[in-house]
Amino acid sequence: MSDIRQLTIDIKVLARQFSFYRFTHTGRACSRTARAIVPRGLQLQYDRSWAEDAHEFVLQLAAEDRRFQDPP
């Protein structure tokens, strides 16, 4: 089984624990936010996540990515 297939299966299993969730594909040109978050996450010595309030820098980058994906 490929790594991506196992990852997809794991995500589906974990997603069952939520009452609501949505997955949205974003093209590579709109992934600035993800590229900014990953290095910060890799520096942590413990697991961390947020479910509601994102950091200000994440909100700002996401708004910029959104403009590329869905221009005004």
Could you read off the pLDDT of 1-59 as tens digits, one per residue? 677 888 888 888 988 888 887 777 767 766 777 788 788 778 877 776 666 677 788 88
C-beta separation of 27 from 66 below 8 A: no
Cα(21)–Cα(17) distance, integer angstroms: 10
Structural domain boundaries in the chain: 3-69
pLDDT at 50: 62
pLDDT at 62: 81
pLDDT at 40: 77
Helix ranges restricted to H, the chain: 3-15, 32-43, 56-69
Tell me the pTM: 0.41
pLDDT at 72: 62
Burial label for 21, CB within 10 Å (0-12, 13-18, 19+), is: exposed
